[in-house]
Amino acid sequence: MKKKTAMALAAAITMAFTAQVSTASAAKKTKACFVYIGPVGDFGWTYQHDQGRQAVEKAFGDEVETAYLESVPESSEAQRPIEGLARSGCNIIFTTSFNYMDPTNKAAKKFPDVKFEHATGFKREYPNVSNYSSKFYQGRYVQGQIAAKMSKTGVAGYIASFPIPEVVRGINSFILGAQSVNPDFKLKVVWVSTWFDPPKEADAAKALIDQGVDIVTQHTDSTAAMQVAAERGVLAFGQASDMIKFGPKTQLTAIIDDWAPYYISRVKAVMDGTWKQVNVWEGMAEGNVVMAPFTNMPDDVAKMATETVAKITSGELEPFTGPVMKQDGTVWLKAGERADIGTMLGMNFYVKGVDDKLPQ
Amino acid sequence: MTLFLEKRANYSRLFSALSPFLALGLTLVFGTIMFTVLGQNPAEALYIYFVLPLTDAYLIEQIVLKATPLILIAIGLSVCFRSGNWNIGAEGQYLIGGMIGSLIPVYFNDFQSPIVLPLMMVMGMLGGAMYAAVPAILKSRFGTNEILTSLMLVYVAQQFVDWLVRTPWRDPQGMGFPGTKRFNESAVLPDLLTNGEAHWGTVFAVVAAIGTWFMLSKTMKGFEVTVLGECPRAGRFAGFDAKKMTIFAFLFSGALAGLAGIAEVSGSVEKLDDNLSLGYGFTAIIVAFLGRLNPLGILAAGLILALSYIGGEEAQIVLQISNRATNVFQGLLLFFVLATDTLIHYRIRLEFGSSVKGAS
């Protein structure tokens, strides 16, 4: 019996090796490729990007082929995977995390015929590199308002990843939104130095709740914080994706990143031969930042949130409008003054009310 | 039926030669099963894993590049482990080496001279050696457990370097993002090939391998390392000083880890950033044992491990399998190699109940 199994196994292996190694090269398809920081199953940031990829497949059917690499580290180690995709015949490559910035530009130099799209960065050293991002901070402002209405302790907790401008901007926008409702509202911040690490994110949520916060929000990619908040009976905001499944009685709303329209339009541009370098930073008005349904809150709070979304969408309201003081009490924006785009993109200071020292 | 591991009186020459092939065979069998279960053509998958990377000049260079720090660190560790000193903190020594070596480009960026690079390399080695001296002195002076102290110092180094690149060393033009300024050209290790990635670190690794092999097998110092490692009592009778050996072994491995660190910083990343710590110091422990603590064996082992990394990435790109699957496959390979190596010194004895006791 054993002998037979062994022989069958040996035969199988021999067959396998003599089998022809397939070299897939179909007719001229456009190949769109994606590099992800986390697993596609993070149900947050990367999940949303992958939804965008699937939308591209759905939109163009047989005319496109897509590929992706997940859990690619943000370092010089990202160079090989990005170039690997370029070598494998990708026509357009979306690199979807901030620190892929230098490797993306380096790859763009080596592969001038491939189009590169780097999310959330600012370097476009070659004509075949574009930047795209969304004004997530607009959603943070709405969340801040909701938090101030819903919190009993007057303190919210914020799980932050890296002290880069995008994250600092979100924190500031959140507290400005909260202060527009309750001027004394406070915000505690925990830095976890990772985008995706569910146990660490969960620990941060626990630590914040132990310090008396009753609203948890995050700038990390997993659903761990939402699940901890649900266990501990406090409220939370979903991040990057609708996380209602992980906290049906916990999630107030979520900022949903909808990348599908952008991905479809950029892949289309490659197919039509009209692709040009761009630097896109869009928000609620363009449909890139979407709020999940306002749940687990009274109607008047939901109404307020809906109105704020409408005002931001129409441009009537800009979260970073004076009077705004910096954390140290000095004036940043005078009454009615709006922040200039340079300061917005390079934001490296807290506004008043954040109970934390910004790691500098 | 019970399985016993029984120590052989003498090590088996047969298994010493056979075990790598046995391991490869087992990996192929289980890899075939795994890829079949994943719905892939196992022949294609294994081809992409082990053969494809070797047919492409670019990928060969990537393998060499990936193997370089692993080999450098593992060679140092081989001396440490052979002498019975358990340095688990190479990751920290690697980081501190990279950090000390970066002092010149960080503080004297305008100092451009051919002497900069040699100085950086020497400083990197000194940095790594000094950092390794801490657990060595603690062990030889106070009898502390070097496994614990060296490991814990890794976390200290990680936090310290992280703080440096986020605070005092941060590029003022970097928009708040962690990392020093890009080094100027005189502080960047030149490429080995004209349009390549591989840098002079690879040459250091080869020189270190040959030099260390010579020291271990042809010199008195090497004899001392082996005797003190395998039979400390005999070493004492021979007049060898175990405490001095602890210091020597740690300084030696720390210096090589530090060299690996500064070579990586200067040759690959071209600046010091928050992503230097990728676990090479820990992976190198596997490489050291994979190469049976023999510097020349380590040269091969480092390349094989690098091949499995690069092959895994190719498999992800071409077959679109998840990185968890490629990690499992790499784990299979390492497990079988180390498991079959056990057969060099041990034999497996089967016992079927008590009646046939003694049969082997």
Q: Model confidence over A58-86: pLDDT tens digits?
A: 999 999 999 999 999 887 789 889 999 99
- Report yes or no: A172 and A204 within 8 Å, Cβ to Cβ: no
Band of residue A194 on the pLDDT scale cut at 50, 70, 90: confident
Q: Could A21 and B317 be called an inter-chain contact, meaning their C-beta atoms sit closer than 8 Å? A: no
Instruction: Report the pLDDT averaged over residues A273-281.
Output: 95
- d(C-alpha A203, C-alpha B21), whole Å: 45
- d(C-alpha B258, C-alpha B127), whole Å: 6
Contact residues, chain B, for A17 at CB < 8 Å: 43, 46
Band of residue B359 on the pLDDT scale cut at 50, 70, 90: very low
Q: Could A360 and B47 be called an inter-chain contact, meaning their C-beta atoms sit closer than 8 Å? A: no
Distance from CA of A348 to the nearest CA of B (A): 6
Half-sphere exposure of residue A187, counting CA atoms within 13 Å on the CB side? 35
- Report yes or no: A308 and A145 within 8 Å, Cβ to Cβ: yes
Of A12, A22, A70, the CB nearest to B323: A70
| Percent of chain B predicted with pLDDT > 70 | 96
Q: What is the residue whose two structure tokens read 């057969």?
A: B343
B301-327 exposure pattern, b = at least 16 Cβ within 10 A, e = fewer? bbbbbbbbbbbbbbbbbbbebbbebbe
The answer to whether residue B85 sits within a structural domain is yes
Q: What fold characterizes domain A30-134+259-282? A: Rossmann fold (3.40.50)
What is the reported pLDDT for A26? Answer: 44
Q: Could B278 and A77 be called an inter-chain contact, meaning their C-beta atoms sit closer than 8 Å? A: yes
- d(C-alpha A46, C-alpha A120), whole Å: 13
Same fold, A30-134+259-282 and A136-249+288-355: yes
Could you tell me the residue range of the domain that residue B78 belongs to? 68-210+241-306
At CB < 8 Å, which residues of chain B contact A? 28-29, 32, 36, 41-44, 46-47, 58, 62, 162, 166-167, 170, 175-178, 197, 268-269, 273, 275-276, 278, 310, 313-314, 316-318, 320, 322-324
Of B43, B166, B197, the CB nearest to A359: B166
Which one is predicted more confidently, A206 or B23? A206
Q: Is A41 near chain B, with CB under 8 Å?
A: no
Q: What is the pLDDT of residues A216-254, one digit of tens each?
A: 999 999 999 999 999 999 999 999 999 999 999 999 999
- d(C-alpha B158, C-alpha B127), whole Å: 14
**DSSP H or E run through B298:** helix B295-319
Query: What amino acid occupies position B209?
Result: A
**Planar angle of CA B290, B293, B295, nearest 5 degrees:** 100
Contact residues, chain B, for A99 at CB < 8 Å: 177, 275
**Region of poorest pLDDT, from A112-121, A128-137, A349-358:** A349-358
Distance from CA of A143 to the nearest CA of B (A): 25
Structure ipTM: 0.74
Judging by DSSP bridges, how do beta strands A235-238 and A251-257 pair with one another? parallel
Q: Could A68 and B42 be called an inter-chain contact, meaning their C-beta atoms sit closer than 8 Å? A: no
Beta bridge partners of A1: none
Of B44, B58, B178, the CB nearest to A22: B44
CB-CB neighbours of B195 under 10 Å: 8
- Which region, left, alpha or beta, applies to residue A154 given φ > 0 means left and ψ of -120 to 50 means alpha? left
Of B32, B273, B322, the CB nearest to A16: B32
Q: Is the pLDDT of residue B1 over 80?
A: no
- d(C-alpha B305, C-alpha B144), whole Å: 33
What is the reported pLDDT for B258? Answer: 97
Of A75, A88, A165, the CB nearest to B278: A75
Q: Into how many domains does chain B fold?
A: 1
Q: Is A74 near chain B, with CB under 8 Å?
A: yes
Chain centre to alpha carbon of residue B174? 32
Band of residue A8 on the pLDDT scale cut at 50, 70, 90: low
Judging by DSSP bridges, how do beta strands A215-218 and A155-160 pair with one another? parallel
If we measure between CA atoms, which residue out of A252, A282, A251, A254 comes closest to residue A266? Answer: A282
Q: Give me the residues of A, 326-345, that contact B with CB < 8 A.
A: 345
Q: Is A109 near chain B, with CB under 8 Å?
A: no
Band of residue A23 on the pLDDT scale cut at 50, 70, 90: very low
Cα B230 to Cα B84, B234, B236, B284, B342: the distances in Å are 7, 9, 12, 22, 17
Contact residues, chain A, for B173 at CB < 8 Å: none
Beta bridge partners of A236: A216, A251
Q: Could A163 and B166 be called an inter-chain contact, meaning their C-beta atoms sit closer than 8 Å? A: yes
Ranges of H-type helices in B219-241: 220-230, 232-237
Band of residue A27 on the pLDDT scale cut at 50, 70, 90: low
- d(C-alpha A19, C-alpha B41), whole Å: 9
Q: Is the pLDDT of residue A360 over 90?
A: no
Band of residue B194 on the pLDDT scale cut at 50, 70, 90: low
What does residue B171 show for φ and ψ, rounded to 5 degrees?
A: -65, 120
Of B170, B317, B323, the CB nearest to A88: B317
- Which region, left, alpha or beta, applies to residue B292 given φ > 0 means left and ψ of -120 to 50 means alpha? left
- Report yes or no: B267 and B189 within 8 Å, Cβ to Cβ: yes
Q: Does residue A323 have a cis bond before it (omega within 30 degrees)?
A: yes
Q: Is the pLDDT of residue A359 over 80?
A: no
Beta bridge partners of B3: B350
Q: Is A9 near chain B, with CB under 8 Å?
A: yes
The answer to whether residue B114 sits within a structural domain is yes
- d(C-alpha A288, C-alpha A76), whole Å: 30
Domain ranges of chain A: 30-134+259-282, 136-249+288-355
What is the reported pLDDT for A74? Answer: 81
Distance from CA of A328 to the nearest CA of B (A): 19
Q: Is the pLDDT of residue B174 over 50?
A: yes
Q: Is the pLDDT of residue B60 over 60?
A: yes
Dump the DSSP string for B134-194: HHHHHHHHH---HHHHHHHHHHHHHHHHHHHHHTTTS-TTSTT-SS-PPPPGGGSPPBSST
Dump the DSSP string for B47-106: HHHHTGGGG-HHHHHHHHHHHHHHHHHHHHHHHHHHTT-----HHHHHHHHHHHHTHHHH
If we measure between CA atoms, which residue out of A94, A149, A144, A122 comes closest to residue A296? Answer: A149
Q: What is the pLDDT of residues B11-25, one digit of tens each?
A: 888 888 888 889 889
In A, minimum Cα distance to B36 occurs at A16
Q: Is the pLDDT of residue B39 over 80?
A: yes
Query: What amino acid occupies position A132?
Result: Y
The 8-class DSSP code of residue A113 comes to T
If we measure between CA atoms, which residue out of B284, B291, B302, B281 comes closest to residue B337? Answer: B291
Q: Could A84 and B44 be called an inter-chain contact, meaning their C-beta atoms sit closer than 8 Å? A: no
Which one is predicted more confidently, A357 or A127? A127
The 8-class DSSP code of residue A317 comes to -
Band of residue B175 on the pLDDT scale cut at 50, 70, 90: low
**A–B interface: beta-carbon pairs under 8 A:** 89
Give chain B's mean pLDDT.
90
Q: Could A75 and B313 be called an inter-chain contact, meaning their C-beta atoms sit closer than 8 Å? A: no
Distance from CA of A215 to the nearest CA of B (A): 28
What does residue A248 show for φ and ψ, rounded to 5 degrees?
A: -55, -30
Q: Is the pLDDT of residue A4 over 60?
A: no
SS3 A182: coil
Q: Could A75 and B273 be called an inter-chain contact, meaning their C-beta atoms sit closer than 8 Å? A: yes
Burial-class residue A11 by CB neighbours within 10 Å (0-12, 13-18, 19+): exposed
Q: Could A16 and B42 be called an inter-chain contact, meaning their C-beta atoms sit closer than 8 Å? A: yes
Distance from CA of B37 to the nearest CA of A (A): 13
Q: Is A165 near chain B, with CB under 8 Å?
A: yes
Q: Could A80 and B313 be called an inter-chain contact, meaning their C-beta atoms sit closer than 8 Å? A: yes
Contact residues, chain A, for B278 at CB < 8 Å: 73, 75, 77
- Asked whether the whole model's pTM tops 0.90, one would answer no
- The CATH number that domain A136-249+288-355 falls under is 3.40.50.2300
Q: Which of A255-259, A344-348, B355-359 has the highest mean pLDDT?
A: A255-259
List all residues 6 or more positions away from B303 whose beta carbon is below 8 Å from its beta carbon: B63, B64, B67, B71
What is the reported pLDDT for A324? Answer: 94
- d(C-alpha A219, C-alpha A236), whole Å: 12
Token pair in block for residue B10: 């003498």
The answer to whether residue B117 sits within a structural domain is yes
